[in-house]
Structure 1
Amino acid sequence: MGINRLSIGIQSFQQQKLEALGRIHNGDEAVRAAGMARQAGFDNFNLDLMHGLPDQSLDDALSDLRQAIALKPTHLSWYQLTLEPNTVFWNQPPALPEDDTLWDIQEAGQALLAEHGYAQYEVSAYAQPGRPARHNLNYWSFGDFIGIGAGAHGKLSHPDGRIVRTWKTRAPKDYLNPAKSFQAGAKELTNEELPFEFLMNALRLTEGVEAKLYAERTGLALSSLDEGRREAEQSGLMQVEPSRLAATDRGQLFLNDLLQKFLS
């Protein structure tokens, strides 16, 4: 077993933005990390970058993106900042860009990435030809994966049809205690939860997935999606394509609205 791909969490190259995010590295260190990865023999690496940061302008966002592209990664994960519960930003919201600015950043960024050969294959993922992340494709198509390490999450499909999400203990010290279980918890997904769980992942892919994969991965009949699918198609959020489950461009922009149609 070996490692043939690295992912480097840069987020931004601008000191002010990094400090606002609570990051302890600087832009020069980010550039150096990417260079070290290449020198170590990794020609296949991803850079994580964020946009929609506090007080970020269109020029700021495109400057970050150009610097990332200049490092010639094979893959770029370009995420918009979202405010999550139980975080500092949630409790003390920063001044984020206006919606019009966010829209301009998204459109200009996608065009810049396409110009440099990065094809979008998922809401926030862009890759050079032949370089989409196999982990991402497995994850977004509701495949199984094993979480290894402190706080890692996993998903396992059992022969009896059960689908279970697992998570490991977060504290590294627990791994030194032979009496402590590494697995902190597990949750079996119910038939009511499965449609949303599957589509929450699959509809992030720009091409969606083959419709038959739904039954293969969940054990449920495709017809269990009929009502939500019909509403989504009528709203212009899902493609009218019997053999595929895929969002329209509008559906990807309003993914939360689309997914609401499949909540039990």
Structure 2
Amino acid sequence: MSLTTPPLSLYVHLPWCVRKCPYCDFNSHEGRGALPFDTYIDALLADLDYDLPLAWGRNVHSVFFGGGTPSLFPPEYIDRFLQQASSRLRFVPGCEITLETNPGTAEHGRFELYRQAGVNRLSFGIQSFDDGCLKRLGRIHDSGEAEAAVKLAQDAGFDNFNLDLMYALPQQTLAMAEHDLELAFALQPTHVSHYQLTLEPNTVFAARPPQGIPDDDASWDMQEHCQGLLAAAGYAQYEVSAYAQPGRQCLHNLNYWQYGDYLGIGAGAHGKLTLGAEQTVLRRWKTKHPTQYLVQAGHAGAIGGDDRVEPARRPFEYMLNALRLVEGFSLAAFEARTGLARSAIAAQLDAATAQGWLEVDGDRVRPTELGRRFTNDVVELFLVDDGSDDANVDPAGPNLAQRVMVDHAK
């Protein structure tokens, strides 16, 4: 079998935020004083130029500005980056271009200018419409500002946007989680990311857990109830934490889950590329701290690490992504994206099927409802100890490292 080059996306990390949230384990840094917008855009372009030989001649199907808080960057800087990036890479017609935004940084007039720059999809970090929950989460906005920000974007012509909501929050009840969704539905988003608060290592919440976090049973009740509400409102679940109206799935994140390729530029960004000539998969990540990144961008010193994913590890990586999708994957896609024959995973598929975790129907492999509850156990079946040192490798790229999910699955 040989590797087939998959679609290519571009991930751009903008690392600064107004205030670090106590649950956040992303590479985000509180902005102190004037932020170096010009210098950082120059660094991003130098970083992109350094990586371009890995993607010569390929089309870009989606762009995602993640952070941090990308909406801290004024529209003219997003515009300059997109103009320069699209002169280096071929953006397909209708290329999905998403900007993450914090309601606390929304300003009148900015959304119109983001649209003019080429942004055609927004992801709002709402988290909750309950002011008490927002305060306990350390968010800088309140529910009124959240609603106002979304309406400003709609007035500017944005008709494709995600609302990011969390459940199992400190002191949150089932009724409060339901109310969050009711208020979200009233704003008519095309996409909802709905995921459980988790206490990630090296965060304030991990060191000092807040009082009143719902227990596992209460959290599961919230998840099941909210899934029913989302379905009834016309939002089909297509990934563990992602729900969308028909035809409005996030194409960028689908590419992650389908083991597609992505260039990752910016401080701490991760990329994954299929190198056809070498018949290997390369993971590359950039140095995390913005100060060091600004100095090194465009040079080898900005590379935090390169890891060639050997064939023995590819089934695990593939499943870590693909088994998050409700529709699962096709065996033909597995062969194309990993360069391995389907026989390489036959024993694991048999074991997972026997446990009731997966169902195999011809070429299609889907997780069952039970399998979706025990995704980690299913994925572990495909983990092979090949003797490599994975301590410094993020096998999920920019997306699964976050709340088991890579959200940026928004």
Normalising by structure 1, report the TM-score.
0.93
Alignment partner, residue 310 of structure 2: 190
Aligned pairs (5 A) from 1:105-124? 105-124=222-241
2:320 and 2:295 map into 1 onto residues whose CA distance is: 36
Name 2:275's counterpart in structure 1: 158
Counterpart of 1:132 in structure 2 is 249
Spell out, residue by residue over 1:199-220, the C-alpha distance to the aligned partner (whole angstroms, 9 max, x if none). Answer: 0110111011111111111111
Matched, 1:54 2:170: yes
What are structure 2's unaligned runs of at least 5 residues?
Answer: 1-85, 87-117, 385-410
Candidates 126, 130, 134, aligned match of 1:18: 134
Q: Provide the rounded CA distance (Å) in 2 between the counterparts of 1:82 and 1:228.
A: 29
Following the alignment from structure 2 to structure 1, what is the Cα–Cα distance between the partners of residues 285 and 142?
31
Deviations 1:177-213 (A, max 9, x none): 3676443322222222211110011011101111111
Indicate the SS of the match to 1:64: helix
Which amino acid letter does the alignment assign opposite residue 51 of structure 1?
Y
Distance 1:114 1:63 in 2: 16
Separation in structure 2 between the aligned mates of residue 235 and residue 178 of structure 1, nearest angstrom: 49
Q: Which residue pairs with 2:182 in the alignment?
A: 66
Report the aligned-residue RMSD: 1.7
2:264 aligned partner: 147
> Which residue of the partner structure matches residue 121 of structure 2?
5
Aligned twin of 1:91: 207
Which of residues 28, 31, 35 is equivalent to 2:151?
35
Q: 1:93 Cα shift? A: 2.7
Q: Which has the higher strand share?
A: 2
Amino acid at match of 2:226: G
Task: Measure how far apart 1:175 and its partner are.
Answer: 5.0
Q: Deviations over 1:215-241 (max 9, x none)?
A: 111111211112211111000000132
Give the alignment partner of residue 335 of structure 2, picking from 202, 210, 215: 215
Q: Deviations over 1:38-63 (max 9, x none)?
A: 12211001111111112221011111
- Aligned-pair CA distance for 1:169: 2.9
Tell me the alpha carbon deviations over residues 8-36 of structure 1, each in whole angstroms, 9 at most, x when there is no partner. Answer: 11111222222222222221221122112
TM-score, normalization: structure 2? 0.61
Q: Deviations over 1:137-156 (max 9, x none)?
A: 11100000112333222111
Match of 2:369 among 230, 240, 249: 249
The 5 A counterparts of 1:167-178 are 167-174=285-292, 176-177=294-295
For the structure 1 residues 56 and 34, does the alpha-carbon distance in structure 2 shift closer, same or farther, using more than 3 Å as the test? Answer: same
